[in-house]
């Protein structure tokens, strides 16, 4: 890296490296400076775009819903494997079971930051910033505009993907004025894994990048390999936070869901429910109370362990408890929870402040009688 930014940075052959500023909110928020072997602008051709807009069946839902996430069919291709189930203007919740690594093309989401929660499988996410090794329980956070390739170790992969149309950040109440995570936060900088092993691929050819924008995939052919950086610095890059590194906040009596909050964006939050000791007041009821979420749709994705407040829960299941009606523990589970010392549950929750719309893919995997399961 040159000592000063925006100055000459020469290659061994005397030519210049190509500097690129990747900036967000215009020039007002986080950014990175990347030094490429070749300009990132050398487009050879653009093929016809492909429409991948989720097929919304209804944007008006007033019913508790339950989906069998693992009923989503595995697909060889990473992009085709992505099935949007619950969407609105702020967020898309997507399930995917890709069998093969994406090696023939690159992918860039220009619409949304992506949080890829790895339920099953392991591998490496490659980008111009370096490599991120991922496995069970990792949240891979990929800021929009990042060209990446996902490589899997094997064919059995289950991903729960959140596409956020505004930046994914840590909760504001856990950050000081300089952005550092505070002492009472359930995780800290040491838990965040940044890209490593930067490999500079200086190659000329035809490199296909599927760029997603406004629900369309634009097949761009570039003349140089997208991972041609010799170096970069800055605060805009993909990273990983593992759900297993989330330190649960517990209390004498039932703690509200915000103690599980991990990320936030405009109009929604992502929370992590992890194994933890139960409430320790002598008369505590560990199971949650009935709850009328007056102004958020609550989505719970069940990962592992047993789920104390629900019956018949399987791994990969999604429940949606919408704005407008109360939800609560299933009959018998409140009494059963009394005296329990700990839970092994692992789940990811997405609470949206605007109603979610249900897609064709959601109806395909729905358990239709769930709304009567409290009888
Ligand atoms: Fe709730």
- The pLDDT tens digits of the residues spanning 86-119 come to 999 999 999 999 999 999 999 999 999 999 999 9
Strand order in the sheet with 56-58: 56-58, 357-359, 83-87, 91-96, 158-164, 113-120, 138-142, 239-242, 192-193
Q: Could you tell me where the DSSP H helices lie in 241-348?
A: 333-337
Q: Quick one: pLDDT band at residue 293, thresholds 50, 70, 90?
A: confident
Instruction: Examine the pLDDT at 346 and tell me if it is beyond 70.
Output: yes
CA of residue 291 to ligand 1 center, whole Å: 5
- pLDDT above 70 covers a percentage of the chain that reads 99
CA of residue 33 to ligand 1 center, whole Å: 42
Average pLDDT for 122-140: 98
Q: Quick one: pLDDT band at residue 171, thresholds 50, 70, 90?
A: very high
CA of residue 67 to ligand 1 center, whole Å: 17
CA of residue 344 to ligand 1 center, whole Å: 19
CA of residue 214 to ligand 1 center, whole Å: 32
Instruction: Examine the pLDDT at 309 and tell me if it is beyond 70.
Output: no
Q: Spell out the residues 6+ positions from residue 313 whose beta carbon is closer than 8 angstroms to its own.
A: 302, 306, 307
CA of residue 64 to ligand 1 center, whole Å: 12
Average pLDDT for 113-139: 98
CA of residue 256 to ligand 1 center, whole Å: 9
Q: Residue 238: name the closest of 122, 107, 366, 140 by CA.
A: 140
Q: Quick one: pLDDT band at residue 308, thresholds 50, 70, 90?
A: low
Instruction: Examine the pLDDT at 306 and tell me if it is beyond 90.
Output: no
pLDDT, the chain, mean: 96
In this prediction the pTM is 0.97
CA of residue 63 to ligand 1 center, whole Å: 14
CA of residue 327 to ligand 1 center, whole Å: 7
CA of residue 367 to ligand 1 center, whole Å: 20
Average pLDDT for 307-333: 89
Q: Quick one: pLDDT band at residue 244, thresholds 50, 70, 90?
A: very high
Provide, for the chain, the percentages of residues in helix, strand and coil under a 3-state DSSP scheme, each rounded to the nearest 5: 10, 40, 50
């Amino acid at each position: 890296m040159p000592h000063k930014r925006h100055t000459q940075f020469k290659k061994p052959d005397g030519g210049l490296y190509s500097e690129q500023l990747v900036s967000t909110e215009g020039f007002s928020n986080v950014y990175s400076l990347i030094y490429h072997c070749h300009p990132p602008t050398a487009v050879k051709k653009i093929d016809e775009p492909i429409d991948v807009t989720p097929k919304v069946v209804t944007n008006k839902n007033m019913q508790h819903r339950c989906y069998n996430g693992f009923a989503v069919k595995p697909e060889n291709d990473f992009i085709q494997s992505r099935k949007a189930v619950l969407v609105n203007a702020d967020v898309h919740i997507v399930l995917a079971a890709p069998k093969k690594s994406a090696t023939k093309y690159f992918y860039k989401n220009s619409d949304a930051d992506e949080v890829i929660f790895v339920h099953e499988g392991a591998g490496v996410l490659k980008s111009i910033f370096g490599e991120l090794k991922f496995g069970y329980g990792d949240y891979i956070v990929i800021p929009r505009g990042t060209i990446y390739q996902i490589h899997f170790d094997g064919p059995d992969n289950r991903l729960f993907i959140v596409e956020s149309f505004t930046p994914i950040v840590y909760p504001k109440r856990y950050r000081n004025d300089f952005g550092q995570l505070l002492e009472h936060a359930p995780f800290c900088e040491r838990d965040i894994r940044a890209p490593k092993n930067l490999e500079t691929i200086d190659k000329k050819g035809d490199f296909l990048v599927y760029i997603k924008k406004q629900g369309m995939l634009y097949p761009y052919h570039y003349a140089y390999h997208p991972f041609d950086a010799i170096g970069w610095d800055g605060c805009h890059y993909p990273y990983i936070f593992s759900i297993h590194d989330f330190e649960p906040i517990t209390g004498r009596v039932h703690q509200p869901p915000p103690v599980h909050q991990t990320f936030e964006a405009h109009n929604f939050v992502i929370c992590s429910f992890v194994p933890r000791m139960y409430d320790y007041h002598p008369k505590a009821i560990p199971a949650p109370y009935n709850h009328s979420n007056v102004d958020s749709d609550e989505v719970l994705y069940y990962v592992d362990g047993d789920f104390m407040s629900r019956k018949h829960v399987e791994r990969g299941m999604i429940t949606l408890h919408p704005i407008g009606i109360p939800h609560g523990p299933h009959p018998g589970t409140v009494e059963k929870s009394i005296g329990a010392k700990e839970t092994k549950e692992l789940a990811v929750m997405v609470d949206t402040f605007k109603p979610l719309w249900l897609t064709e893919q959601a109806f395909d995997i729905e358990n239709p009688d769930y709304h009567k399961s409290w009888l």
